[in-house]
Amino acid sequence: MSTAEETAGGETSAWGEVTPDAARRLLIAAVEAFAERGYHATTTRDIAGRAGMSPAALYIHYKTKEELLHRISRIGHEKALEILQTAARREGGPAERLADAVSSFVRWHAGGRTTARVVQYELDSLGPDARAEILALRRQCDAEVRGIIEDGVAAGDFDVLDVKGTTLAVLSLCIDVARWFNVDGPWTPDEVGSLYADLVLRMVGAK
């Protein structure tokens, strides 16, 4: 098992860059609420309540409810991209790099399911500008994975009919983990990561 992402010490890690403390607590509260109920079904009163503050306190640190979602989405996507870049740029053959990328990416979606859910499924609730910014990050994620697969095909290590379609399917498979993964279920994030790395190597016809 590799370490393309630091093993999270809990769902609330990785928000260290958010200051001051009250702003971070509000952001974490928003992630939990959005993941549980969805963006539109979450009230600003609920977010503030989870952070132990009055409804009005939210507006000292964030201009609107949507700004919270935007910040969460950007930080989350940057993290996802970083995970894929680290795996794509490590030493080793295409098969090792792809397996590392998939298992790391899946581990992040499973272990940080709360965050990943918001990041991957609440995109449509953003306004056009914020949405466009996030979509650019997604295209970069796509490019990282496609790069590994193209390397594998060029090296003769992979046997792929449709590189673009297979890339999309691989990412889709990983992302959907955030929808179904259950912490109380039969698998650990590591186990799903290993299983998925194996499945993806089969999908690309790795030798």
Partner DNA sequence: GCCGATACTGAGCGAGCGCTTAGCGGGACG
Partner DNA sequence: CGTCCCGCTAAGCGCTCGCTCAGTATCGGC
Q: Which residues bind DNA (CB under 7 A)?
A: 20, 22, 42-46, 48, 52-57, 59-61, 63-66
Count of other CB atoms within 10 angstroms of residue 160: 17
Residue 18 region by backbone torsions, left for phi larger than 0, else alpha for psi between -120 and 50, else beta: beta
Is residue 136 at the binding interface for its own copies, with CB under 8 A as the rule? no
Alpha helices, H only, the chain: 21-37, 44-50, 58-61, 65-89, 94-111, 113-121, 128-154, 163-175, 177-180, 189-203
Is residue 180 at the binding interface for its own copies, with CB under 8 A as the rule? yes
Is residue 177 at the binding interface for its own copies, with CB under 8 A as the rule? yes
19 CB-contact burial (10 Å; exposed 0-12 / middle 13-18 / buried 19+)? exposed
| 82-112 core/surface letters (b: 16 or more CB in 10 A; e: else) | ebbbbbbeeeeebbbbbbbbbbbbbbbbbbb
Restricted to residues 26-45, the positions that interact with its own copies (CB under 8 A) are 37-38, 40-41
The one of DNA, its own copies, none whose footprint includes residue 177, by CB under 5 to 8 A per kind, is its own copies
Is residue 196 at the binding interface for its own copies, with CB under 8 A as the rule? yes
The one of DNA, its own copies, none whose footprint includes residue 202, by CB under 5 to 8 A per kind, is its own copies
Is residue 66 at the binding interface for its own copies, with CB under 8 A as the rule? no
The one of its own copies, DNA, none whose footprint includes residue 89, by CB under 5 to 8 A per kind, is none
Count of other CB atoms within 10 angstroms of residue 185: 10
CA 22 to chain centroid, in Å, comes to 24
Q: Which among 175, 178, 177, 167 is positioned nearest to 200, based on CA atoms?
A: 167
What is the identity of the amino acid at 111?
G
Kindly tell me which residue out of 52, 54, 199, 207 binds its own copies, with binding defined by CB under 8 A: 199
Nearer to DNA, 53 or 153 (CB): 53
Question: Least distance to DNA from the beta carbon of 20, Å?
Answer: 6
Is residue 121 at the binding interface for its own copies, with CB under 8 A as the rule? yes
Kindly tell me which residue out of 6, 129, 162, 184 binds its own copies, with binding defined by CB under 8 A: 162
What is the identity of the amino acid at 107?
R
Residues that bind its own copies (CB under 8 A): 37-38, 40-41, 121, 124-125, 161-162, 164-166, 168-169, 172-173, 175-177, 179-180, 186-187, 192, 195-196, 198-199, 202-203, 205
